[in-house]
A and B are shown apart, each in its own frame.
Chain A
Amino acid sequence: MNSEELQQIAEAVRLEHEKYDYEINVCMGAGCLAQHSDKFKDALAKEVESSGKRCHVRSAGCLGLCAAGPLALVDPIEVRYGHLRESDAKEVIASLGGKPVERLEMHLENYFQGQQHVVLENCGRIDPEKIEEYISRGGYEALLKALTEMDPQGVIDQIAKSGLRGRGGGGYPTGLKWGTVAKAVGSPKYVICNGDEGDPGAFMDRSVLEGDPQRVIEGMVIAAYAVGATKGYIYVRAEYPLAVSRFSASLREARRHGFLGANICGTPLLFDIEIRLGAGAFVCGEETALIASIEGKRGTPRTRPPYPAVSGLWNCPTLINNVETFANVAPILRNGAEWFAGMGTAHSKGTKVFALTGKITNTGLVEIPMGMPLREIIFSIGGGVPDGHKFKAVQTGGPSGGCLPEEHLDLNISYDALIGAGSMMGSGGMIVMDDTSCMVNVARFFVEFCMTESCGKCIPCRAGTAQMFGLLSKICNGEASHQDLDLLIDLCDVVKNTSLCGLGQTAPNPVLSTLRYFRDEYLEHIDHHRCPAGVCACNARTPKAELAEVTV
């Protein structure tokens, strides 16, 4: 494959599209499919045939606003329809050329204004299983550019200059990681893509894998060229069957076009990717546990150093990055490091995809430039809290993150600002809570999650989270004393500082952040056996309450 052939493919796709006046992209992501978007698509196709209109119906990836599914986007008039049913197909096709169907149209100026799509630029615009459509939108240009015009060190320099940091949560500088693996001694070298997205309420990686899988493959091949790897693995959780089937179809397509295998694009580069399925363990998102799992061992983390960059998969140098990190690679090489570094803040460059969920009007996938205030994401893009309720907190970073209250809403999203406020970027889950949420109960939920997902290897995480869960349950039930609260705080400190891996070290964060900002709610449960939000059943008869009754 050379650039002329790429252009020929792109040209062929363009000519094909010229045959149509309209293109309707129907979302075939897991969320919309669950609401039968496939039936709607079939109905559309039938309608198009009978109406004789020059319209192309496409199975596309995620269109963003998942709560309003099934969704469809009509090109080129940029009309978005939501809540589509099979019976709406006739009306939608009939409206082409005239006024859009008012009943189904969604007015989402606020939702898209302020968003900046880099990772999601093709999501919902292409058929994820057709490599030609990816190529027609600039796909694999970056790989060809890297292979023909740049040496491996040049690629690493570009990534380093762009300021890209790991999107899995840690925020480690990607260029530095690539450079380390490139310099590491050992053969063969491996590239691993971490798609074991397990945070509650997070679905960014799934949407990218379902909507634009070729982008991840391109990023991985570029990485392999840069670090000198010959074999790649993508570790996807088995709970994402659609992402897995689309990705394996995409791997076949990429092989067929010579982007994987031997002599990639006519150069001596040899690289192929294999899919490994996770068996439902959250801890396998931790890099050393993930590597153990790929090796066929029990998925438990090990102490670092040595880091995987030096000794990873089968003790060989291994580059391990998140899906979203790899998805950023091709645009950086295509548009230049300066372009990427032009977005975001001083130390957090580019954009970040968030899965906006919880008590929010516009639930879905958003991609925003780093540095955007939380308030804008929640109230402008997200449309605020529905049903007249009051905003209370936003939870970022999954079970490792924290809850930020109203007064932190003007915080500009960046790795360092979020950590400073007691939360973290995490992989991109963003859960909005209103006044019907009890913060103690929220903390208990996340600690329970960490308790059941702990691998059980080290004692502080295994037994510590279980004890923390017990104490939090006691507080929720209105049975706790101040000594219990002190003990909880002490345990948080121990678990945070003595656990072996990131899961344990960050497990106390939801407790610590809610204690920092919502201590009054904890005290209300303890002192007055009352849950301010009315969530917890605090009416357990406590000795204190009984005493009060007796004196009356």
Chain B
Amino acid sequence: MSASVDVKTLVIDGVDVSARQDQTVLDVARENNIFIPTLCHLEGLSEVGACRLCLVEIKGSPKLFPACVLKVEEGMEVITHSERLLHYRQTILELLFAERNHVCAVCVANGNCELQTIAQSQRLTHVRLPYRNPKLPVDLSHERFAADHNRCILCTRCVRVCAEIEGAHVWDVMGRGIDSMVITDLNDPWGSSSCTRCGKCVQVCPTGALFDKSKVGVSHPKSPEFLPYLNLMREEQ
């Protein structure tokens, strides 16, 4: 017998659902086929609550809560889709598109990009904000992979997968605010860094920022689904 876990019931978008007490609203919503957009969340990695796309409303509170870290509570009434939330999600996506140089037509991830998919799902048709067009480097020093900072959305999935799963902690974040950048080691070229060449960061990257050089010009789908299985196998060992 395992230790008993409390079960809670709550309402998400008018649907009565049940959940274990250690689950987040996002987990429960996905179990029940309720779609909440996310970019920084990835099953198998720790949560950072940074992309703010999964913000949901809770009845009785004027505040918004990130579903990825929001623990379920008995009787909670969650609203995951409203005019207000749609507007916020669209604006956040606009901020992302205007922040760096996201040009789908010439991107290796075109058609396999989470940012692109979510923008379509949120019915984003245009960007009202001026594009910032920053001049950012492309790191081609690695023999197998490349990092194009123009397409990076700073979700820090690569940082987390490298530290938490691979255990190498090659990736990290440098600088602050709008000048933040993901870097390898102490801002060394990726090719001469302590990278173990496992490629997990490429698989979890939601955009074309990290990509496999051999996939340029062909379809480049990413497969981050390995993470939960990997974690499960490690737990059993």
Chain A interface (Cβ within 8 Å of chain B)? 281, 283, 298, 302-303, 451-460, 462-467, 470, 487, 490-491, 494, 497-500
Contact: B177 with A459, CB < 8 Å?
Answer: no
- Please name the 8 residue pairs, one residue from A and one from B, whose CB atoms are nearest each other, closest first: A456-B180, A454-B177, A463-B95, A303-B49, A466-B178, A463-B99, A494-B91, A498-B52
Q: B38 to nearest A CB, angstroms?
A: 12
**A460 with B98: in contact, given A281-B176, A497-B64 (CB under 8 Å)?**
no
Closest to B49 in A: A303
Per-residue 0/1 for B52-86: is the Cβ within 8 Å of any A Cβ (1 yes, 0 no)? 10010000000010100100000000000000000
**A456 with B179: in contact, given A298-B173, A494-B91, A498-B64 (CB under 8 Å)?**
yes
Q: Which of A456, A470, A497, A500 contacts B154 (CB 8 A)?
A: A456
Residues in B with CB closer than 8 Å to A457 are 48, 50, 154
Q: Which of B69, B88, B132, B173 contacts A498 (CB 8 A)?
A: B88
Contact: B88 with A454, CB < 8 Å?
Answer: no
Contact: B50 with A500, CB < 8 Å?
Answer: yes
Contact: B177 with A455, CB < 8 Å?
Answer: yes
Closest to B51 in A: A459
Given contacts A456-B178, A463-B96, 4 further A-B contacts (CB under 8 A): A452-B177, A458-B52, A460-B95, A494-B92
Contact: B52 with A460, CB < 8 Å?
Answer: yes
Q: Does chain A have a CB within 8 A of B136?
A: no
Residues in A with CB closer than 8 Å to B217 are none
In Å, the complex CA distance between A404 and B173 comes to 38
Q: Does chain A have a CB within 8 A of B167?
A: no
Interface residues on B, range: 20 to 34
Number of A-B residue pairs, CB cutoff 8 Å, is 92
Contact: A467 with B177, CB < 8 Å?
Answer: no
Q: Does chain A have a CB within 8 A of B128?
A: yes
**A463 with B98: in contact, given A458-B50, A500-B50, A500-B52 (CB under 8 Å)?**
yes
Residues in B with CB closer than 8 Å to A452 are 177
In Å, the complex CA distance between A265 and B64 comes to 48
Q: Does chain A have a CB within 8 A of B129?
A: yes
Q: Does chain A have a CB within 8 A of B14?
A: no
In Å, the complex CA distance between A298 and B154 comes to 15
Which residue, B87, B88, B177, has most C-beta atoms of chain A within 10 A?
B177
In Å, the complex CA distance between A78 and B87 comes to 62
In Å, the complex CA distance between A499 and B178 comes to 14
Contact: A466 with B177, CB < 8 Å?
Answer: yes
Contact: B95 with A467, CB < 8 Å?
Answer: yes
In Å, the complex CA distance between A455 and B179 comes to 9
Closest to A450 in B: B177
Residues in B with CB closer than 8 Å to A497 are 64, 88
Contact: A462 with B64, CB < 8 Å?
Answer: no
Q: Does chain A have a CB within 8 A of B137?
A: no
Closest to A456 in B: B180
Q: Which of B47, B52, B129, B178 contacts A451 (CB 8 A)?
A: B178
In Å, the complex CA distance between A531 and B74 comes to 55
In Å, the complex CA distance between A454 and B87 comes to 23
Residues facing A in B130-181 (CB within 8 A) are: 130, 132, 153-154, 172-173, 175-180
**A464 with B173: in contact, given A454-B178, A457-B48, A497-B88 (CB under 8 Å)?**
no
Contact: B177 with A453, CB < 8 Å?
Answer: yes
Contact: A458 with B51, CB < 8 Å?
Answer: yes
In Å, the complex CA distance between A28 and B65 comes to 48
Q: A306 to nearest B CB, angstroms?
A: 10
Contact: A499 with B52, CB < 8 Å?
Answer: yes
Residues in B with CB closer than 8 Å to A464 are 95
**Sampled A-B contacts (15; CB under 8 Å):** A298-B173, A302-B48, A303-B66, A454-B176, A457-B48, A457-B50, A458-B49, A458-B52, A460-B52, A466-B99, A466-B132, A487-B128, A491-B91, A494-B88, A498-B64
Residues in A with CB closer than 8 Å to B47 are 303
In Å, the complex CA distance between A462 and B95 comes to 9
Contact: A490 with B99, CB < 8 Å?
Answer: no
Residues in B with CB closer than 8 Å to A494 are 87-88, 91-92
Q: A59 to nearest B CB, angstroms?
A: 38
Which residue, A455, A458, A491, has most C-beta atoms of chain B within 10 A?
A458
Q: A480 to nearest B CB, angstroms?
A: 11
Contact: B49 with A487, CB < 8 Å?
Answer: no
Residues in B with CB closer than 8 Å to A303 are 47, 49, 66, 69
Contact: A462 with B178, CB < 8 Å?
Answer: yes
In Å, the complex CA distance between A498 and B132 comes to 21
Closest to B97 in A: A463
Residues in B with CB closer than 8 Å to A298 are 172-173
In Å, the complex CA distance between A464 and B132 comes to 12
**A455 with B176: in contact, given A303-B69, A462-B154, A498-B52 (CB under 8 Å)?**
yes
Residues in A with CB closer than 8 Å to B154 are 456-457, 459, 462
Which residue, B51, B64, B175, has most C-beta atoms of chain A within 10 A?
B51
Residues in B with CB closer than 8 Å to A470 are 130, 132
Contact: B52 with A302, CB < 8 Å?
Answer: no
Closest to B65 in A: A303
In Å, the complex CA distance between A405 and B166 comes to 56
Per-residue 0/1 for B179-206: is the Cβ within 8 Å of any A Cβ (1 yes, 0 no)? 1100000000000000000000000000
Q: B148 to nearest A CB, angstroms?
A: 18
Contact: B92 with A460, CB < 8 Å?
Answer: yes
Closest to B90 in A: A494
